[in-house]
């Protein structure tokens, strides 16, 4: 039986969504896509536009998000705050809600939400982004708990600094500063897709409400004056 997967945020070339689509297609899924940009099955704004009839969706991969709003918390505008929450959190939930009813009825579903390490660690100068990504974690754990007896799983993948088109398009000095702080460099989008593929598989039915961090070890306490000794 061919399972059908919906991947949002799949329109950007070189992005995480593109890597997820490629991996799920290779794994035998029928993949349909959604993005605000052209080139996908559906082109729309998940926060504001009327959602189409997606048909039967077995796997929902929530990847659509914006990452471009910056500012310190004490001066951050409410307009920018609301935009991040509208797209990253409310938009994700709107699509999830539409897919979930059918999953429950068929007693099968895989919900995989792309959160971020900023949702557990914070992100200076991106208070609304970090808050929206933290909210996704609470949403996933709640949906997992409500559907644990209905054949539907819900899990999060938390990327660290990933070599997507957005990061690679940053000025060289910013990229160099990031790379100097990362123990294994930028994460490849394919590594995020690998985590999604596990949660999306039929064999992961006993795994739900979980967070998988894919950051090359960045969250580990590896910065020390004696770190060179410890690595010998």
Active site members: 129
Strand duo 42-43 + 109-114: pairing = unpaired
Nearest to 188 by CA among 156, 169, 161: 161
Report residue 150: phi and psi, to 5°: -120, 15
- Torsion, CA 154, CA 160, CA 166, CA 171, rounded to 10: 170
Cross-strand pairs, 7: 33, 61
Q: Which tokens in the block code for residue 56?
A: 């039967």
* Residue 26: exposure state from Cβ atoms within 10 A (0-12, 13-18, ≥19): exposed
């Amino acid at each position: 039986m061919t399972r059908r997967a919906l991947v949002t945020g799949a329109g950007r070339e070189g992005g995480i969504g593109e890597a997820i689509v490629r991996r799920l297609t290779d794994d035998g899924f029928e993949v349909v896509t959604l993005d605000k940009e052209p080139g996908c099955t559906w082109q729309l704004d998940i926060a504001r536009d009327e959602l189409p009839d997606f048909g039967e969706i077995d796997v929902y991969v929530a990847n659509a998000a914006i990452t471009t709003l910056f500012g310190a918390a004490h001066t951050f505008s409410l307009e920018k705050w609301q935009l991040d929450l509208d797209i990253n959190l409310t938009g994700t939930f709107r699509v999830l809600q539409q897919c979930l009813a059918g999953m429950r009825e068929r007693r099968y579903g895989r919900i995989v939400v792309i959160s971020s390490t900023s949702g557990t660690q914070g992100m200076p100068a991106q208070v609304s982004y970090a808050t929206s990504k933290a909210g996704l974690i609470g949403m996933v754990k709640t949906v997992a708990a409500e559907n644990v007896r209905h054949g539907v799983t819900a899990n999060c993948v938390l990327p660290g600094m990933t070599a997507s088109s957005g990061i690679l398009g940053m000025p060289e000095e910013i990229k160099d500063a990031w790379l100097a702080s990362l123990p294994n460099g930028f994460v490849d989008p394919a590594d995020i897709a690998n985590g999604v593929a596990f949660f999306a598989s039929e064999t992961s039915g006993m795994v739900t409400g979980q967070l998988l961090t894919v950051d090359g070890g960045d969250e580990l306490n590896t910065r020390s004056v004696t770190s060179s000794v410890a690595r010998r």
